[in-house]
Amino acid sequence: MFTKVTSGEVQTITIQFEGETLVVRKGLNVAAALLEAGVKQFRETPVSGQARTPFCMMGVCFDCLLIIDGMHNQQSCMIEVAEGMKIERQLGMATIEFNASAEQGL
């Protein structure tokens, strides 16, 4: 849903990106907020290390993956910014915790 916002009605929130405090517009998704703040690289590919930036902005391409509040592989174009959110670039392979005993029903 889109709503028309006049300049006097813009609300902002504060997030952290790579340890830097950013003031962004409330209601944006994380990818849009970071792009608007001038962030160009969101992640790098695990194979070649090539820099990636959001492409589709609708949850299809996975080029917007970030670490959000400590959780890897978050599609930033599908998540709304929230006050105090801590965001980091996802560089290389994502860390995935695997509990072998839980997987094997032990």
Cα 4 to Cα 7, 8, 32, 36, 101, distances in angstroms: 10, 12, 17, 18, 52
Q: Among residues 34, 35, 63, 67, which is the contact residue for ligand FES, using CB under 6 A?
A: 63
Rounded alpha-carbon distances, angstroms, from residue 77 to 48, 55, 60 = 23, 9, 10
84 binds ligand FES (CB under 6 A): no
Rule CB under 6 A: say whether 74 interacts with ligand FES. Answer: no
Residue with Cβ nearer ligand FES (22 or 34): 34
Token pair of 34, please?
A: 């970071």
51 binds ligand FES (CB under 6 A): no
How near is the Cβ of 24 to ligand FES at its closest, in Å?
Answer: 17
